[in-house]
Structure 1
C-alpha cells in the first residue's frame, strides 16, 4: 500500500487505521508536498447507504468549518480502481497523539490540566454549536481528541477530530432514526436517536471523568443512570466534581444546556453550582391553563381562549354608538365642532372600535403551535373556523428563539423560522412566567439558545 498513488494526486505513506469497509491513510499531496489524511469508504459487500450518507455529511460539514482546533477539509473524491470503488475525504494532517493513547501509555493529568483541556474543548464546541444550523459532533471521546506540542505549563494544542457521526440541525429530523456514538460517552437521549448541543457536553464530561479516574465510564458503577466517580476523584476540588456531575446528568433537563454556560460555570464555587443545580427547571405557573405536549416526535402548545372581560363589551357598544352618531349626526349634534375636529373624532372612535374588535376576537380564539419532524404550524380556531397564519414552514428553517421585553413590562416570545416570525405574548394573554416557561421548553426540545432583548416601545403584531 505504501507508495500507491490515489487519484493521481496523493501518495500513500502508511495506513493509520482500518476496519470493515473503510480505512484511514496518511498520504502526501503531490502538488503541495504536505501530509494529509485520507478517509476512504469502499463500495463492497458490507456497504450500506446510511454509511455513505454520514460520510458525505462529514465532508460537507468540514467544508463549512474553519477553526484552529478542527482539521480542515481539502478534497472529496470518487476513486475508481480495477478491483474497487470508493469515496475519499481528504483533510489536513494533525500531528499528535489521542487522549486515549496518552492514557494507555500511563500519562496522568493534573486538575489544572483537566480544567485547561475542558476550556479548550468547550471553546471548540461553542464554535460548532453557534453555527447556523448548529453542528453536533455526537461522538466526543478520548480517541477523538488529539494533543500536540505539549509544554511544561500547558496541555498543548487541542484538536477535535473524526466528524463521521456529525449531525446538524437541518439533518436532525430525517425520516429514520440513527443511533451513533460510543457507549459510556453517549448521552441517554442519543439512544433514542435524538441529539442536542447538551449531548456533546455529556460526551466531554465522560471523557474528563476518564482522565481523572483512569477508568472508562462503563467501568464505573451507576445509580439511576448517573456515573458514580466521586469516590475515585477525592483528590479533586469539590467544585470540579460537582461540575462533572452536572455535565453528565442523565436527564437532559438537569444537564448543563450549552457549552457557553459550561465554560462560565467551570470556575464557580460549589455552593453556586449547587444552587443552580437545585433549580434547573422552569415549571408551568400553577395558574396557567396552557396545555403543552412534548415527546420525541413533536412539541405542541395549545393556548385556550381567554376569559372575556365584559367591560370590553361596554367599550365596544360605546365605540359603535359614538361612531354612528359622529357619522350621521352632522350639525344637529356637533354644530359647534368644525368638520376637521369631527373627522378626527370619527377616526378616533373607529380606531377604538377596531382595537376592541381585535381584542374580542383574540378572547374567543384558541391558538395551537405545533413543531414536529417536518414543520412548524401556527393554527387559530375561532368559533369553529380554523386558519393557519403565519403559514406553516419547514422545521429546518427554525433558527432562533427570542424573548422580547418592552419598557412597559410587556413580554413576547418570537420563534424565527426563515423570514417568518411566530409570536406568543400579550395578544394571547400570556404572563411573563408563562412565556419564560414555554421558551425554556422549546429551547430544550429544539436545542436552541434563548435570545433575550430589551426593546424600546412596542410593535403590536396581530395574528
Structure 2
C-alpha cells in the first residue's frame, strides 16, 4: 500500500493523493528530493485485473509527453517501474511530470462559477494555440480527452492542457482495431468509432466551452437536429460566438472546422464560416466484421436490424465472476432436475417438487433469454420501434418518434460494447454484448442512415 511520505526510486516523496482515479491507478503530488521541486506522479498498478491496453496507453502517454515542448503543456520528467520491494505487493509503473499549481476548470464549475463570454474566448484562444502545435507535429498528436478537469487555470489566469492519458499519434491508426477512449458528452461520435481526427479535439473543446459558460454538462443539455441547445441558458451571448461554438460541435465531421488553425482564425475574425472551404477527411467506411450475426436491411425510408442474443460473450462483462455465476446456474439446474426426479420417485413432500420445478423453469427462462433473445429494430422516418423476442414470444416493446432521436452512442462495458440510440427522454440499447468492431460498424450504419 503506497502511503504519504513514502519515497519511490530513492527520489520521489509522496505527499498528497490527488483526485478520483480508476482502480489500479493513483495520482500523487510528490516532492523531487534531488531538486526540492514538486512534481505530479502518475502510477499504474501491474496487476491481474489490468487490461493490457491500459499499459499501452500509459506507455504511449510517457512517450508522447517526452517528445512535446510547449509552454502550456506539463513537461515530462521521468518514467520508471517499481518492483515488489516497495512493500505494495504489486509492481507499479510511474510517470513523473511537471506540477502546474492552480485549479482545474472542473473545480471552477463545481464552485458555482461560470465563464463570461470574454473569458471563454480567451480560454478558447489559448487551447486552440496548443492544439495548433499538437496537430502540426509529425505525426499529428491528438489529445482525445479535452474536458474541464483536464484544463488547469493558474493564478496568473493562464490555462494549461494536462492529462495525455488518451493521447494518440495519428499515424499509429491502422486497420479497424481500435481502443475507445474519451469522455461521454465531450468526445464526438467518430471518436467512439475509433476514428479520431484533429476535428475531434475541436468538438471536445466546443463541448467544454458550453459546460463552462452554462454550468451544465453537455450530456445533460437538450438537443435539436443533433445540436446542443445551450444559448438559452446564457444571457447576452454574441450570436457570432454562438454560431462559432455550434460549428465546433457539429455532430457531422464534414460540417465542423477541420483544423485548429481554421477554428482560431474564425474566432479571431468573427467569421463563423472559414475562409477556405476545404472539407474534412471522410471517415473510412467500417466494414461489417466477419462472423457477425447481426441482420441489417435498409432503404432510404426504412432501416431494419435484428441483433442476436449476447450468449457466452455476456461473460466478458464480468470476467471470472460471470463464469462462476453461470457454472453455478448450470449446477443448480442439474441439481433441480435430480432432486425433482428423486422427489417424484420417493413421493417426497409436494412443496419440494413444486420448488424444484419452479427453480428449474426460472433458470431455463434465464438461459433462454441469454442464448435465445433477439432484438428487433424497425426505424423509419416517423417512428422507432424496438422489440425483444425469445422463442417466438415478443415483449419489452418500446417506441419513440423519429424527431426525438438525438443520435447514436457506442458504450463500452468491460470487454464488450453496446450501441445506444439516444432520444430526448431515454437511451435505447441494441445488443447486450457486441464486439468492438461490430459495435462500431452498427453505430456507423445507424448514424449514416439518420443523416441520409
Same fold (TM over 0.5): yes
How many angstroms does 1:275 deviate by? Answer: 8.5
- 1:363-414 CA-to-partner distances (Å, cap 9, x unmatched) read xxxxxxxxxxxxxxxxxxxxxxxxxxxxxxxxxxxxxxxxxxxxxxxxxxxx
**2: distance between equivalents of 1:15 and 1:293?**
41
- C-alpha spacing 1:281/1:78, structure 2 compared with 1 (3 Å): closer
Q: Which has the larger radius of gyration?
A: 1
1:295 to 274, 285, 308: 285
How many angstroms does 1:108 deviate by? Answer: 2.2
Residues 239-388 of structure 1: matches in 2 within 5 Å? 239-269=240-270, 272-273=271-272, 294-296=284-286
**1: distance between equivalents of 2:252 and 2:246?**
11
Q: Supply the RMSD in Å over aligned alpha carbons.
A: 2.3
Other-structure match for 2:34: 31
Does the CA contact (< 8 Å) of 1:239 and 1:268 recur in 2?
no
- C-alpha spacing 1:120/1:275, structure 2 compared with 1 (3 Å): closer
Other-structure match for 2:238: 237
Residues 19-168 of structure 1: matches in 2 within 5 Å? 19-81=22-84, 82=87, 83-150=89-156, 156-168=157-169
Does the CA contact (< 8 Å) of 2:258 and 2:279 recur in 1?
no
Does the CA contact (< 8 Å) of 1:137 and 1:165 recur in 2?
yes
Other-structure match for 1:436: none
**1: distance between equivalents of 2:203 and 2:212?**
14
- C-alpha spacing 1:161/1:260, structure 2 compared with 1 (3 Å): same
Other-structure match for 2:205: 204
Secondary structure class of the residue paired with 2:268: coil
Alignment size in residue pairs: 282
Other-structure match for 1:215: 216
- 1:136-177 CA-to-partner distances (Å, cap 9, x unmatched) read 000000000000024xxxxx1110000000001232226621
**1: distance between equivalents of 2:58 and 2:137?**
20
Does the CA contact (< 8 Å) of 1:108 and 1:211 recur in 2?
yes
How many angstroms does 1:231 deviate by? Answer: 1.8
**2: distance between equivalents of 1:117 and 1:16?**
24
How many angstroms does 1:225 deviate by? Answer: 2.5
Other-structure match for 2:410: none
**2: distance between equivalents of 1:280 and 1:134?**
18
- C-alpha spacing 1:232/1:217, structure 2 compared with 1 (3 Å): same
**2: distance between equivalents of 1:135 and 1:295?**
23
**2: distance between equivalents of 1:244 and 1:80?**
48
How many angstroms does 1:294 deviate by? Answer: 4.7
**2: distance between equivalents of 1:193 and 1:45?**
26
**1: distance between equivalents of 2:127 and 2:273?**
24
Please list every run of 5 or more consecutive structure 2 residues that lacks an aligned counterpart in the other structure. Answer: 288-452
Report the TM-score when normalising by structure 1. 0.58
Other-structure match for 2:15: 13
Does the CA contact (< 8 Å) of 1:256 and 1:262 recur in 2?
yes
- C-alpha spacing 1:31/1:275, structure 2 compared with 1 (3 Å): closer
Using CA pairs under 8 Å that are at least 6 residues apart, name the structure with larger relative contact order, 1 or 2.
Answer: 2
**2: distance between equivalents of 1:199 and 1:295?**
17
Does the CA contact (< 8 Å) of 1:254 and 1:280 recur in 2?
no
Does the CA contact (< 8 Å) of 2:28 and 2:41 recur in 1?
yes
- C-alpha spacing 1:294/1:175, structure 2 compared with 1 (3 Å): closer
Other-structure match for 1:171: 172
- C-alpha spacing 1:74/1:174, structure 2 compared with 1 (3 Å): farther
- C-alpha spacing 1:161/1:53, structure 2 compared with 1 (3 Å): same
**2: distance between equivalents of 1:281 and 1:200?**
16
Does the CA contact (< 8 Å) of 1:70 and 1:160 recur in 2?
yes
**1: distance between equivalents of 2:283 and 2:231?**
36
How many angstroms does 1:276 deviate by? Answer: 7.0
**2: distance between equivalents of 1:92 and 1:281?**
38
- 1:201-233 CA-to-partner distances (Å, cap 9, x unmatched) read 000000000112110001101123321112223
How many angstroms does 1:22 deviate by? Answer: 0.7
Secondary structure class of the residue paired with 1:253: helix
How many angstroms does 1:268 deviate by? Answer: 3.3
